[in-house]
Structure 1
Amino acid sequence: MTGRVTSRFGAQSTALEVIEGIDLAGRATIVTGGASGVGVETARALAHAGASVLLAVRDLQAGTRIAAVINVEVGADRVSVDFLELGSLASVRAFAERWGERPLSLLINNAGVMACPQGTTEDGFETQFAVNHLGHFLLTTLLVPALEKGVPSRVIAVSSSAHALSDVDFDDPDFRKRPYDAFQAYGQSKTANALFALEFDRRHRDRGIHAFSLMPGVIQTNLGRHVPDADWSAIEHLTKTVEQGASTSVWAATAPELEGKGGLYLENCAEAEVFVRGMPRGTGVMPYARDPDAARRLWALSEEKVGLAVG
């Protein structure tokens, strides 16, 4: 890929290595799903760089425990906790209202569910599409006034190489007509994450707000509790530690190489190549996840589903 953005970091780099030398003092950050896995290491690295970090979590007890540990590590009260249930549009709206228009520089949309049994949220949407995409879509759009006050600001959508399992089915995203497949549903939601970042960046880059999506790597955390052992063994060559898994999120949020850029899909602390036959499994970004027409179509569908007109 000509002109592809790269860095001196790679697949084995850790979040703390990536953040070294970066000063985030006075910068406010929200990390969804910050009470476990990659979210913890993302929050830890940002706090070490001086950012104030709010963990937006379902489990307040776990979030409070993690915040206390990180605050002791950094020697300051930089990490706090608030409740957020991404599967509930009412909860998302309440969270955004509590934040208000306080300046926000970094929004890390990290939380998610993976390959879970078929289910629907209280709003009637398929669980993975709702939690991984729609909840974050609504959260981010509601926080645009705060992001405008925190410019230059960035929104990070944690996607996955699993986006290669499915494009977005615009006719039946909630599996009401087609048979449910847990991995197809997960893949669809991860494609949605990439398309959301593409369209969000198009809409807001002129205001100094940029968005990126990324593949963190394969990390065996609680996220993958529904994944059979046989499926893990098939992708074990991609496995990272949680410290390594958080590195691309932190790089996306802070890298000078990305200043003024946006809408990119990242992996291993670099811009991913568009997937072509012959590339290793689990690498690259599928062309349909870079389709601007699909991104605009998804935006319109998402607005309709969450009942939000944002232009």
Structure 2
Amino acid sequence: MTAFGWASTTDEVLEGVDLSGMTVFITGANSGLGQETARAMAVHGAHVVLAGRDQDKLDESAAAIIATEPEARLDTITVDLASLESIRAATSRARQRFGKIDLLINNAGVMACPFEHTADGFERQFGTNHLGHFALTAELMPLIERGTAKRIVNLSSRGHHMAPMHFDDPNFAQRPYDPWASYGQSKTANVLFSVGIEQRYAVMGIHAYAVHPGGIETNLGRHMTPEMRDALMARITSRDTGFQWKTIPQGAATSCWAATAPELEGRGGVYCEDCHIAEVDDESASGGVRSYALNPSFADQLWKLSEELTGAKFPT
């Protein structure tokens, strides 16, 4: 059992943890959960690489962290997860600039956006939330292999309850686009990706964890119309889930826990929420992980599809 829970914060989870000498790479670190995760880990001695699309926003995020944590060791790197070319360029720079990555936190994401395509023609949510991180992780694996902690945290969501992977039409080329079905599929993919990493790399001491941060008011919901927001809140509250918003430090706590908790040593391929490993549950609306998101054959199918779509190859 973990000593932490729903209300735990990043600082509580990391109390007494020494990350000196560790390099932490965080996508979407320009705001919200990513920035808070970066701040909390920098406080505990980590060298943190803030990754995001916009250099100005990354600079602002770094400045905000330095303002409260003057000793923080920070670097920034620009990467657009909706562009394989940008990912290849950014990871090439990362391999030149950094000797290793101990913790990779794939935190960035988009939610419920209109039907759009990435630079490479993928539906934007699946393309950014999953395929972008798949390609990024593949290119960063040589650095992760040289790290000591060797943990990968993939931000998923309870949104994975909304949809499994649709392997026949992941990019909504044949079926009508639904922003929530797309979001749910991409969040299921984040869990299956964690299972896939575990299947392939646990033998090398590399472990992966999917994380549901909880409901947090961040700019993730910027694409939602008032009607979509009302419908989502009605869905959440009408099912007697006891839903409550978390603060950003509470929302980032499970990422920090999954990245550092000693009780997770030597194991991965799990879905974490509220600073614990969630139970498999195909019915509950208020928690748990759907069995389809942990299915090893689905994880393998997604891995092969992702390699085909992105051309990214993990080291063997």
Q: TM-score, normalised by structure 1?
A: 0.95
1:11 to 6, 10, 13: 6
Query: 2:230 maps to what in 1?
Result: 230
What is the Cα deviation at residue 229 of structure 1? Answer: 3.0
What is the Cα deviation at residue 16 of structure 1? Answer: 1.1
Query: 2:64 maps to what in 1?
Result: 69
- Determine helix, strand or coil for the equivalent of 2:18: coil
The amino acid of 2:74's aligned partner reads: V
What is the Cα deviation at residue 302 of structure 1? Answer: 0.1
1:270 to 257, 263, 276: 276
Please give the per-residue CA displacement for 1:109-151, whole angstroms capped at 9, x wherever unaligned: 0000000000001101000001000000011111111001002
Distance 1:15 1:296 in 2: 33
Please give the per-residue CA displacement for 1:48-80, whole angstroms capped at 9, x wherever unaligned: 111010110112112111112212322224122
Distance 1:292 1:157 in 2: 17
The amino acid of 1:270's aligned partner reads: H
Distance 1:161 1:99 in 2: 31
The amino acid of 1:173's aligned partner reads: P
Query: 1:239 maps to what in 2?
Result: 245
Query: Which residues of structure 1 form unaligned runs of 5+?
Result: 1-5
> Are residues 1:248 and 2:254 paired?
yes
- Determine helix, strand or coil for the equivalent of 1:262: coil
Q: Quick check: 1:64–1:80 contact (8 Å CA) kept in 2?
A: no
Q: Quick check: 1:151–1:208 contact (8 Å CA) kept in 2?
A: no
Distance 1:71 1:7 in 2: 31
Q: Quick check: 2:45–2:72 contact (8 Å CA) kept in 1?
A: no
> Are residues 1:182 and 2:179 paired?
yes
2:215 to 203, 215, 218: 218
- Determine helix, strand or coil for the equivalent of 1:173: coil
Change (3 A) 1:230 1:136: same
Aligned residue pairs total: 304
What is the Cα deviation at residue 233 of structure 1? Answer: 2.8
What is the Cα deviation at residue 167 of structure 1? Answer: 0.7
Percent same amino acid among aligned pairs? 49
Query: 2:240 maps to what in 1?
Result: none
Q: Quick check: 1:162–1:282 contact (8 Å CA) kept in 2?
A: no
Query: 1:35 maps to what in 2?
Result: 30
The amino acid of 1:52's aligned partner reads: H
Query: Which residues of structure 2 form unaligned runs of 5+?
Result: 238-242
- Determine helix, strand or coil for the equivalent of 2:223: coil
The Cα RMSD (Å) is 1.3
The amino acid of 1:258's aligned partner reads: L
Query: 1:82 maps to what in 2?
Result: 77
- Determine helix, strand or coil for the equivalent of 2:211: strand
State the 4+ residue runs in structure 1 displaced beyond 6 angstroms: none
The amino acid of 2:161's aligned partner reads: A
Distance 1:238 1:195 in 2: 27
The amino acid of 1:233's aligned partner reads: M
The amino acid of 1:274's aligned partner reads: V
Query: 1:309 maps to what in 2?
Result: 313
2:19 to 15, 21, 24: 24
Q: Quick check: 2:42–2:72 contact (8 Å CA) kept in 1?
A: no
Q: Quick check: 2:32–2:218 contact (8 Å CA) kept in 1?
A: yes
Q: TM-score, normalised by structure 2?
A: 0.93
Change (3 A) 1:232 1:183: closer
